[in-house]
């Protein structure tokens, strides 16, 4: 069996956006003929908003919150109740207050099953504010720098930070990254993973590396956007 595993933001949808209708219809047909799985740092409500119920329910399993909240259709089969320790939470609040980015829109800490998503600009930002912050982050490497500092402090305590999406950081136990979902797959399964953050420090990195080493026929594909994902898929079928 070949399992096709997809990240969501930046991989099958625009970041924080909805799936292209034509691609969504194509993906439903593909998922009806192949074993398709989603793995994302987002929660179920956001993923449903992005991909719609038809795509969501046609996938065999959806691994929300980096695999810490697992859904088959509308059935929740597992949820992790881990919570970030208070000292680490306070440290992130200090990063928020000391940031050179001063447009703070609120909702900077988003608790999800098994992880915390942290955003300097905040999840209440409007599209033009998001674009401005993305440009700021590219110029300053702010998220990478915060993640590096966090990991230098807390990795030895079993918690790590990863760059996630366009504006956030995912904070989670070191054994609770997207790579944890592979325990649900048999060793002989051929896995094709698609993600946009497979580089070191990205929240697709661990699962991409695990897939590359899974077996000789499995591989991980770095994509720039959903259009490239679709192009890769059409070349495979």
- Condensed to tens digits (0 to 9), the pLDDT of residues 93-111 reads 999 999 999 999 989 999 9
Token digits of residue 228: 């490239």
Residue 70: φ, ψ to 5°: -110, 130
Q: Rounded to an integer, what distance in angstroms lies between the CA atom of residue 143 and that of residue 100?
A: 12
Decide: 162 and 170 in contact? Cβ < 8 Å: yes
Q: What is the pLDDT of residue 216?
A: 92
- Name beta bridge partners: 171: 116, 161
Token digits of residue 2: 């070949």
Q: Rounded to an integer, what distance in angstroms lies between the CA atom of residue 9 and that of residue 19?
A: 9
Decide: 112 and 80 in contact? Cβ < 8 Å: no
**Could you tell me whether strands 69-72 and 75-79 are parallel, antiparallel, or unpaired per DSSP bridges?**
antiparallel
> In CATH terms, is domain 2-79+177-236 a member of 3.40.50.1000?
yes
To 5 degrees, how large is the angle CA 120–CA 89–CA 63? Answer: 75
Coil, helix or strand for 9? strand
Q: Percent of the chain scored above 70 by pLDDT?
A: 100
Q: What is the pLDDT of residue 1?
A: 87
* Whether pLDDT at 36 is above 90: yes
Residue 60: φ, ψ to 5°: -65, -40
Q: What is the pLDDT of residue 237?
A: 80
Tallying the residues shown for the chain, one arrives at: 237
CATH topology of domain 86-173: 3.30.1240
Tens of pLDDT along 142-187? Answer: 999 999 999 999 999 999 999 988 899 999 999 889 999 999 999 9
Residue carrying structure tokens 């625009």: 14
Token digits of residue 187: 């060793």
Asked if the domains 2-79+177-236 and 86-173 are classified in one and the same CATH topology, the answer is: no
Tens of pLDDT along 37-54? Answer: 999 998 999 999 999 999
pTM: 0.83
**Could you tell me whether strands 190-195 and 2-6 are parallel, antiparallel, or unpaired per DSSP bridges?**
parallel
Average pLDDT over the chain, rounded to whole? 94
Q: Rounded to an integer, what distance in angstroms lies between the CA atom of residue 109 and that of residue 89?
A: 9
Q: Percent of the chain scored above 90 by pLDDT?
A: 89
Q: What is the pLDDT of residue 236?
A: 87
Contacts of 57 (CB under 8 A, 6+ apart): 73, 74
Contacts of 5 (CB under 8 A, 6+ apart): 36, 37, 38, 39, 181, 191, 192, 193, 194, 207, 211
- The domain segmentation of the chain, as residue ranges, is 2-79+177-236, 86-173
Residue carrying structure tokens 């320790």: 85
């Amino acid at each position: 069996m070949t399992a096709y595993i997809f990240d969501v933001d930046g991989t099958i949808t625009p970041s924080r956006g909805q799936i292209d209708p034509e691609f969504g219809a194509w993906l439903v047909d593909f998922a009806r003929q192949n074993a398709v799985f989603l793995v994302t740092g987002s929660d179920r409500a956001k993923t449903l908003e992005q991909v719609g119920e038809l795509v969501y329910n046609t996938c065999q399993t959806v691994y929300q919150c980096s695999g810490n909240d697992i859904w088959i259709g509308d059935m929740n089969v597992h949820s992790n109740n881990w919570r970030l320790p208070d000292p680490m939470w306070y440290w992130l609040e200090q990063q928020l207050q000391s940031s050179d980015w001063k447009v703070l829109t609120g909702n900077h800490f988003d608790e999800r099953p098994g992880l915390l998503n942290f955003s300097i600009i905040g999840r209440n930002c409007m599209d033009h504010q998001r674009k401005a912050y993305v440009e700021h982050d590219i110029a300053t490497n702010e998220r990478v720098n915060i993640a590096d500092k966090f990991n230098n402090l807390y990795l030895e305590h079993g918690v790590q930070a990863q760059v996630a999406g366009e504006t956030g950081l995912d904070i989670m136990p070191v054994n609770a990254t997207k790579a944890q979902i592979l325990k649900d797959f048999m060793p002989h399964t051929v896995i094709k993973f698609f993600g946009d953050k497979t580089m070191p420090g990205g929240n697709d990195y661990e699962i991409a590396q695990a897939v590359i080493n899974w077996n000789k026929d499995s591989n991980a594909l770095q994509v720039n956007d959903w259009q490239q994902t679709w192009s890769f898929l059409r070349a495979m079928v």
